[in-house]
Structures are given as structure tokens and as C-alpha cells.
Amino acid sequence: MARIEVEKIVKRYSDVEGVGGARSARPALDTVSLDIADGETIAIVGSSGCGKSTLLKIVAGLEQPDEGVVRFDGEDVTAVRPQARGVGMVFQDYALYPSMKGKGNLAYYFQVHGRTEEEARARAQETADRMGIGFEQLLDQSTDTLSGGQQQRVAIARCIVREPRLFLMDEPICNLDAKLRESTRVEIRKLLRKFGISTLYVTHDQQEAVFMGDRIAVMRGGRIEQIGTFDELYYSPANLFVATFIGSPPMTVLPAIASGGLLTVAGAEWPAPVPVPDGPVRIGIRPESWFTGRGDGALMTVSHIERIPTERAAFVHGQVDGVPVVVAAPLNQPDTAELRIMPDMGRVYVFAADGEQCLHTPGPLDLF
């Protein structure tokens, strides 16, 4: 229910030791800008230490940025305290108040805002109905007797009971076990759809990000590398980092020499998908874009085959010229020591030989 704009945020932390320490050279957040449309969910994905949690805390009002502006519905809230921003936040460790029961956790917001006891109770009831079956009895338990999944549900309830303008979720499900993570993910997504509240969802798991986010922001080293839908990130990555970060198993990047419209890769010659200036380049091929068993392909030494029946596919892991390669093959791919492989040249990414610049991307797949 709010449009959030984050503009050119810079945040620096001093060195850990504090005394006399100069500011560290690299800021935790380096000119980060981000827009969240009303009701949209943006998933921020990146490896640990990339600044994604810091960004979340700045939006929440728990950290003061060194530079930049945060706006909620066009209104500058950079200097507004968190309680006045009307945000709800779910933490990685749930951060439930251990001395209170589930009910107390939900009521705290109303107590410190001077609302009446009845309102708190009514809202807690309402929230319990929304959270679904079996939630109400969690409210009467002390929080340290709850399981991880139950604590997480209480934490989400605590976050929605106040009807926030913005949800902030800091890796809310990464402490759950795999099976529960799967189902909770679906549940959160359903809740977000139901409420239609703008959400910032931080995770380190790209699959989770793909599932949760209407759009995904990929962060690295305090910068947002690219924001976009999954298809945009997958088929039109902004640079080599995004290209290799998104997609599992990851894209294979092979060095190649371009000359006269031909690419020479590991002894094989393939036609270039687009005109490429002569000289060394790198080409990226996603696992599903390989053809196997073609005579003019490159020679791949197979190390093992990972078969995934539910996806009716097998991933063949191996090497081409010392570079690790993953190839998606049919489930019945025979075990062989070597394999001739060749990319679908229409779906090849081309990168500059040095740096991360992207020279060509195949663009979205034409499915229908």
C-alpha cells in the first residue's frame, strides 16, 4: 500500500576495532537506488556481506544512511524513526520477545502506541484468522516452547497485525529445515498476494528469490548489479556476474577466439551468433542450451551424471579443456566417459575476454 523509493543510498561502517579506526575504504552500500511499486514484492539476492541486510535496515529505519534518501509514497522518511514508518519486519532469527507469550508479542505494538487493550485483542484475533488453522493456540504458548516453524509464523503475524505499509523480510525462512522451507515459502507468497502489501524480501537463495519476488535485485559488494524479472535476469543479464549468479546449475563460461564470424572453442569451430570483432572473447552457455552427440562438438570428459527424475532430465558434469561444464541431457542419457557437445548457437551469451561486459545476450525465450 505504498510506493517506496530508495535513492542513491551510501552507507559506510568504520573498521571493527573502533578506536582510532579510519572508515573502511569500501562502503557497505554504494549508491544504491531501488523503487518498489505499490503492492510489489522485490527479492534482494546476493551472497553474505553484499549489503542486502544493511539496505533492509535502512529502509526499516534501523540504520541511518550516510547519503541518499528513502521515500514512502513520495514522502522523505530518511530521518523518521522506524516506529513512525509503519513497516513490519521479520528477522532471520524471528526475534520474538522471549519473555512474552505469542499474544504478548502481537500486543506489544499496540501497548507502546497507547492503543486500547480491546483493539489489540481484536486485531490479534483478526490476524489469527488470517494466518489460518491452528494458529490461535500458538498465541497462548510461551515463545521458547515453539518450534522454528511456529516461531516463524508468530513472527509473521506480529509483522502483519499492525497492517504495515511495507513488509521487510530478512531471510525469514533460511533457519527452517528443507521441507518446511518449501511449504512456508508457498504460505508467505500466498499471504503477500492476499494483502497486496509492498515487500522487500532479502535472501541468499536465488531459487527463493525467484519464487518470492515479482522482481529480483541482484546485489554484490554494496551495489545492485541488476533489477528485473527472472526472465530479464536469466536471458538478458547485465553482466557476467549476474549471468553466472542466476541459474542453477550455473552457466558454463568458455574462452573462445573469434575470427571472421567463427568462434573457436576447445578445438571446435562454431558460427558466431552475432558479428563479433576478431580476437579473444568468452562465451556463456546455459546447461539446457547444449546439444549432445553432435560430431562437430567439443570433447567433454564426463565426471558424473546427476539424474533428476522429477524434471525428466539428467545433468552431465564434466570438463571441456579444464573448464567445468554442466550439460542438461535426457533422463536416459547413457553413462559414457566422453561426450561430444555443441551449443545451440542461438542461445549463446557472449562476454568480453576481460572484465564483465556482456556483448550479446539471447533475450527471452519464445515459448509460445
Partner 1 sequence: MAASQQHTPVEEEAPAAARPGERETAPGPAGGPPASTKPGTQKPGRRRRVETTLFTLPAFLFQLSWGWYPMIMAFVLSFTDAALRRPVQFTGLESYQRIWDDPLVAQSFRVTAVYTVLSITLTFFIPIFVAILLMEMSRRHIRWMMLLWFLPLSGVASTVLFRYMFNAQYGLFQWVATKVLGLPPQPFLNSADQVLFWLVVPGILFFGPGLIYMATLQSIPASYFEAAEIEGAGFWRKMWTISLPRLRPIISMLLIFAIIGSTQAFEFPTIMTGAEGSPGGAARTVVMYLFQLLQQLRYADATALGVYLFVITMTLVVIQRRFFREDPDT
Partner 2 sequence: MLFPRVGRTHPALRIAWWATVAFLVLGITLHLFPFYFMLITSFKSGNEVLSQTPTWWPHDPTVAGWKLVFDIVEGNSAAGQLMSEPLWVYMWNSVQITFWTLLLGIPITAFAAYANSKLQRGRMARYSFLFFIGTLMMPAALTLIPSYLLTRNWPFALPQAPSVGGTELPTFGIWNTHWAVVLPMVFNAFNYLLFKGFFDTIPDSVIQAARVDGGSEFNIFRRIVLPMSVPVFAVTIWTSFSGAWDQFLWPLVVMQDDAKMPASVMIYQLQEKFIQAGSASDAEAAVQSQQLQEILGAGMSWNGLMVLGILQSIPVFVAFIVCREYLLRGIKLRGLK
> What are the residues binding partner 1 (CB under 8 A)?
1-2, 12-14, 16, 18, 23, 28, 48-49, 53-54, 57, 61-69, 71-86, 113, 162-165
Q: Give the nearer residue to partner 2 in terms of CB position, either 81 or 179.
A: 81
What is the nearest approach in angstroms of partner 2 to the Cβ of residue 56?
Answer: 10
Instruction: Specify the 3-state DSSP secondary structure of 119.
Output: helix
| 338-343 β-sheet, strand order | 290-292, 338-343, 298-308, 313-320, 323-330
Closest CB to partner 2 among residues 91, 195: 91
Query: Which CB atom, from 201 or from 290, has the smaller least distance to partner 1?
Result: 201
Name which position in 62, 257, 345, 359 contacts partner 2 (CB under 8 A).
Answer: 62
Site residues for partner 2, window 89-118 (CB under 8 A)?
Answer: 89, 91-93, 95-100, 108-109, 111-113
Spatial contact of 160 and 127, defined as CB atoms under 8 Å apart: yes
CB under 8 Å to 24, separation ≥6 — which residues?
12, 13, 14, 15
The CA distance from 105 to 98, in Å, is 9
Contact partner at residue 257 from partner 2, partner 1, none, CB < 5 to 8 Å by partner kind = none
Contact call for residue 179 and partner 2 (CB under 8 A) = no
Rounded CA-CA distance 56/324 in Å is: 35
Residue whose cell numbers read 539471447 = 362
Cα R_g (the chain), whole angstroms: 24
The set of cell numbers assigned to 287 is 546447461
Classify burial at 229, counting beta carbons within 10 Å of its beta carbon; exposed 0-12, middle 13-18, buried 19 or more. Answer: middle
Q: Are 157 and 88 in contact (CB under 8 A)?
A: no
> Between 6 and 120, whose beta carbon lies closer to partner 2?
120
For residue 19, the partner it binds in partner 1, partner 2, none, with Cβ less than 5 to 8 A by kind, is partner 2
Which of 28, 34, 55, 57 is close enough to bind partner 2 by CB under 8 A? 57
Residue 127 CB, shortest distance to partner 2, in Å, is 14
CB of residue 98 to partner 1, shortest distance in Å: 18
Q: Rounded distance, CA 335 to CA 354, Å?
A: 36
CA dihedral 196→198→202→207, nearest 10 degrees, is: 40
Which partner in partner 2, partner 1, none is near 23 (CB below 5 to 8 A by kind)?
partner 1
Run of H or E residues at 34 = strand 29-36
Residue 48 in contact with partner 2, rule: CB under 8 A:
no
- The yes or no reply on residue 309 touching partner 2 (CB under 8 A) is no
Binding residue for partner 2 (CB under 8 A) from 3, 10, 71, 82? 82
Residue placing its CB nearer to partner 2 in the complex, 100 or 299: 100
**Smallest distance from partner 1 to CB 82, Å:** 7
In the complex, least distance from residue 59 CB atom to partner 2, rounded to whole angstroms: 11
Output the CA–CA distances (angstroms, integers) from residue 96 to 84, 180, 205, 222, 336, in the order listed.
Answer: 20, 19, 24, 29, 54
Q: Of partner 2, partner 1, none, which one sits near residue 163, judging by CB under 5 to 8 A according to partner kind?
A: partner 1
Q: How far is the CB of 139 from partner 2 (least distance, A)?
A: 16
Name the residue with cell 490461535.
Answer: 136
Q: How far is it, in rounded angstroms, from Cα 360 to Cα 239?
A: 10
Q: Which is nearer to partner 2, 8 or 23 (CB)?
A: 23
For the sheet containing 4-11, what is the strand order? 29-36, 4-11, 67-72, 75-76
72's contact among partner 2, partner 1, none, with CB below 5 to 8 A by partner kind, is partner 1
Q: Compute the least distance from the CB of residue 144 to partner 1, in Å.
A: 18
Instruction: State which residue, 73 or 306, has the beta carbon closest to partner 1.
Output: 73
Interface residues with partner 2 (CB under 8 A)? 14, 18-21, 57, 60-62, 81-84, 87-89, 91-93, 95-100, 108-109, 111-113, 158, 162, 170
